[in-house]
Amino acid sequence: MRGTLAPEIPATPRIGPKAGFALQLVAGIVVLAGLLAAVEYVCGRFVHQGTRLERNMEWLKRTAGEGDSVETMIKVLETYPAVNPSPLVTDVFLLWRNEPLAHKTQPVNPQPFGRDDTWTIDNDSEGYRGPERQFTRADDGAFRVLCIGDSVTFGFNVDQDDAYPRQLERLLRERHPGRSIEVVNAGVSGWSWLQGLRFFEVHGGALHPNVVVAAHGTNDRFLPAKNTDAERLGHVDRPVVRRLLRLEAALLRTNTYRFVEQIIPARLRDISVSAGCRRQMREADMCHRLSLTDIRDAVTELAERTRAAGVPLLVMNLDFIRTDAVKGSQPAAARSGVPFLDFVRRFADLYDADTRQRAIRLGLVPAADVPGPHRVVLRVVPPRQSATMSVKGYHGTPGSHFDFVAAMYDDGTHGDQAAGDGVFTTTVDLPSSVGRIEYMFFDGDTPELQALPPIPSTMGNRVLLVQGDAIGPIETFGRPFLMAEQTHPNKDGQAIIAAGVADEIEKTDAFRRFLAAAQSG
């Protein structure tokens, strides 16, 4: 008898060596990703305390830059860019640039007493602060002014239409109605002369400018550095360095990187001083991003490049912190035959004239007899009649303490010239070596300019250069003359810059040819 056939059992598929390796690889990747996620989570438990803003700021205070302003800026932009007032993004060729299409409204910082001013930023698709424009041809009939600079050119702490490039455009159009005139605001906060030069090299030609206006200096010589801009920008020209910078930017955003950096002692993670900085420090105590020679070379090269392009150049001093950068830019402009506009000196002259007029109106003299080895008289008009006025300031590098704190009087004593005239006065004794002081007026415990979070700032301090005995101007509480704060002009100050630049542009052959062509057409 024939038995029934057993059902056929399908054979188990065999996994080839290639497929097996692929499965093992996928499994390994999954396990590794899980381990990395677990490590990231555990590290986050150690570094995450407080709000996201608080922990980012605390981490930046501990690690950012280790005394190097550029490293600090890059870390801020790569980890928590929202804390930076100017919307910026990192750039492997320029270190950083304006964020394209950024829109931001924020309080003026430091905030003037009794006011709640805000300022708005609107960048175009290229990151220039201004309306969207097409820069397609050099012969499109428009006269184009390219403004290169730092945060003063960008218009830090002033509204969109109040930065000097926008005011310059309006002024030139008002003076020459019916003419096609454009002004491009290519200012970027934190930039040095070398970054401005590189910007013109990379992007200047595409904008087809008829005149270039350039102003840097504050960032070049104010804050400390451990690498010079020449070295940084030279390194990023190499592809391998650019890839490493992109990798570092990605790592900076991880909790694991922050945890490791947190547990490494500062002396081990400290940025080494570069060869360029060591050369600077043989002649001075501090290294800066650019030496005076670097500034002279950058201005000279910019003048050569604009001349080769057939474009006139105007160089300006907008360094209202008054570093020594002008000692590099002004001689270079003179040697290159380039007009040099010193608005720091112009503002000082206007300040002196304003002080003389106020003193005459109040029946005071512009200067006082102040006996003593080295004394400075400071004066201020208070915010209210019953004010309790004082002044606090530094005569060295601002730190965690004030070098002097002094009560102010309106009773004919302590250097006060007239009791009850509404001008509070005090006399400050200074060491004989002091040539510069920074200070701020207080009404009780209320400062005239209040630094707002998240980034503490000393930009609210006033600056007075002193040589021997001196008497300060008659100042108004919370209203620095022509300035939003120590570094950046307010709307009226920006208007003075715009008017001065407009006058100089109208003297150029390029502008005269433009007007003649427009008339003949």
Residue showing tokens 């590189």 = 198
pTM: 0.84
Could you give the count of Cα atoms lying within 13 Å of 178 in the half-sphere of its Cβ?
A: 5
Q: Is residue 127 part of a domain?
A: yes
Lowest-pLDDT range, 76-80, 164-168, 200-204, 331-335?
76-80
Segments forming the whole domain that contains residue 407: 371-468
Q: Are residues 124 and 197 located together in one domain of the fold?
A: yes
Q: Let me know if residue 152 belongs to a domain.
A: yes
Distance CA 168, CA 171 (A): 5
> In the numeric block, which tokens belong to residue 144?
């184009």
Domains in the chain, number: 2
What is the residue whose two structure tokens read 């056929």? 8
**Per-residue pLDDT tens digits for 231-271:** 888 776 666 555 655 566 566 666 666 666 665 555 544 55
Whether 275 maps to a domain, the answer reads yes
Structural tokens at position 506 = 């109208």
Burial 412-425 (b: 16+ CB within 10 A, else e): eebbbbeeeeebbb
Mean pLDDT of the region 273-294? 88
Residue 163 and residue 118 in one domain? yes
**What single-letter DSSP state applies at residue 202?**
I
Q: Tell which residue, 213, 220, 215, has the closest CA to residue 192.
A: 220
| For range 200-213, the mean pLDDT | 95
Q: How many C-beta atoms lie closer than 10 Å to residue 244's C-beta? A: 13
Residue 488 and residue 472: Cα distance in Å, rounded? 20
What are 118-135's pLDDT values in tens digits?
999 999 999 999 999 987
What is the CB neighbour count within 10 angstroms for residue 173?
15
- How confident is residue 449, by pLDDT bands cut at 50, 70 and 90? very high
Is the separation of the CB atoms in 295 and 329 below 8 Å? yes
Residue 33 lies in a domain: no
User: Binning pLDDT at 50, 70 and 90, where does residue 100 land?
Assistant: very high
Domain match, 169 and 316 both = yes
Confirm whether 329 is domain-assigned.
yes
CA distance 85 to 362: 40
190 located within any domain: yes
Within this chain, do residues 339 and 459 fall inside the same structural domain, yes or no? no
Pair 324, 230 in one domain: yes
Look at residue 243 in the predicted model and tell me its pLDDT: 60
Same domain, 331 and 419: no
Mean pLDDT of the chain: 84
Looking at the fold, whether 496 and 463 belong to one and the same domain comes out as no
Both 337 and 420 in a single domain?
no
Please report which confidence band the pLDDT of residue 54 belongs to, taking 50, 70 and 90 as the band edges: low
Q: Which of 2-11, 117-126, 295-304, 343-352 has the lowest mean pLDDT?
A: 2-11
Does residue 444 sit in the same domain as residue 498?
Answer: no
Q: What is the pLDDT of residues 343-379, one digit of tens each?
A: 999 999 999 899 888 888 888 766 544 445 578 899 9
The CATH code of the domain that includes 97 is 3.40.50.1110
Please indicate, yes or no, whether residues 425 and 340 belong to a single structural domain of this protein. no
Closest CA to 316 of 479, 161, 481, 145: 145
pLDDT over 80 at 398, yes or no: no
Two structure tokens written together for 282: 């043989």
pLDDT given at position 37: 74
C-alpha–C-alpha distance, residues 68 and 223, integer Å = 8
What average pLDDT does this structure show over 38-51? 62
Domain harbouring 399, CATH code? 2.60.40.10
Pair (232, 291) in one structural domain: yes
Predicted local distance difference test score (pLDDT) of residue 153: 99
Domain assignment of residue 209, yes or no: yes
Tell me: do 311 and 169 sit in the same domain.
Answer: yes
| Residue 286, in any domain of the structure | yes
Task: Say whether pLDDT at 315 is over 50.
Answer: yes
Residue type, 228: T
- Which of 468, 483, 507 corresponds to the end of one domain? 468
**Cross-strand partners of 483:** 489
Q: Which residue has the higher pLDDT, 147 or 239?
A: 147
Model confidence band, residue 208 (pLDDT cutoffs 50, 70, 90): very high
Residue 84: predicted pLDDT: 79
* Model confidence band, residue 14 (pLDDT cutoffs 50, 70, 90): low
- The band of 306, judged by pLDDT with boundaries at 50, 70 and 90, is very high
